[in-house]
Amino acid sequence: MDIATETRSIGVLIFPEAQVLDVTGPHEVFSSARHLLEKARASIGYDVFLVSKTRKPLKVSSGIEIVPDYDFQSCPSSLDTLIVPGAENIRQVLEDSELLNWIGAQSGNVRRLVSICTGAFLLADLGLLDGKRITTHWAYCEDMRRLFPQLKIDSDAIFIQEGNVYTSAGVTAGIDLSLALIEEDVGKKIAMSVARKLVVFYRRPGGQKQFSDFLMSQSDSPFGALVDWMIENLSEDLSIEMLAQRVNMSQRNFARKFKEVRGETPGKFVERLRICQARMLMENSDVVLKTVARKCGFNTEEQMRRAFQRELSVTPNEYRTRF
């Protein structure tokens, strides 16, 4: 097979205090794919680069100094995919009119427009997400709903495609999305090879809610103290009756209020907490599955297996093997 007859330009936007993994994650995924495609003498290749307002070195979130490959004026006009990272200070970034204007100008020319984490705020401010189902980092979903009430925000999705616009959840979800884009371009084999090289899931099980539950329990939100207690007592009776008694509420009122606050029923929430704890045990120990099930509050190993399949679409055995 001849060397690449089509080279697709992948531009990763960069600005001061950008989340470093939003930038380096996708860059490394596409760079790895480029090397594999060159080795295979594939007909499609990648040119991966960083672009910013100027070519002066700038510091990203971790304090690392990075030098962009291009400024806005010299960025190749053949840009195929533009990747927009997020930042913790995204509100401040929204005030950068030059940055926003450049993204807006590119949006009509690129084949794919991609946001990672809170980069979605920048696309939303430009009206590029209106009418679309989108996602962002779970911790910023409520803030985004307040700023952009017209958007359809899925707080659980790892990434979402709507036409030629792609949005992803926080930080490492940019790697998941980049792998999906590579599969879209050149097939599953190369995407899986990149995932193996980087020692990441080709397609990770579950959505981003699985990562937020334990962190959200530490907040000052209603039922936060109850959730903290639940996490410490997953092997106990966590029925609606017992939980309602603990917060001195009727079962009916507790179930209604809990769903209003947490977005799901108490029973479903408990099941996901138990799955999360089971995953941690399997990832960090060789404890047999029967013991994992007991420690996490599942009545039987079979009950745990069914819960894993509902939530993650894999069995506990498959999860342990894949991790």
- Which stretches of the chain score pLDDT less than 50? 1, 218
Q: For residue range 282-314, list pLDDT tens digits in order.
A: 877 889 999 999 999 999 999 999 999 998 889
User: Can you give the pLDDT at residue 249?
Assistant: 95
CATH number at residue 278: 1.10.10.60
Q: Are residues 89 and 111 in the same domain?
A: yes
> Containing domain of residue 241, as a range?
210-322
User: Can you give the pLDDT at residue 205?
Assistant: 62
Angle among Cα 72, 74, 78 to the nearest 5 degrees reads 95
Q: CB–CB of 16/57 below 8 Å? A: no
User: Can you give the pLDDT at residue 284?
Assistant: 72
User: Can you give the pLDDT at residue 218?
Assistant: 47
Q: Is residue 166 part of a domain?
A: yes
Query: What is the distance between the alpha carbons of residues 115 and 108, in angstroms, rounded to a whole number?
Result: 15
Query: What is the distance between the alpha carbons of residues 317 and 59, in angstroms, rounded to a whole number?
Result: 43
- Annotated catalytic sites, by residue? 117
Q: Is residue 106 part of a domain?
A: yes
Q: Is residue 235 part of a domain?
A: yes
Distances (CA, A) of 19 to 162, 306, 323: 24, 37, 26
Domain termination site, one of 178, 198, 218: 198
The answer, as to whether pTM is greater than 0.85, is no
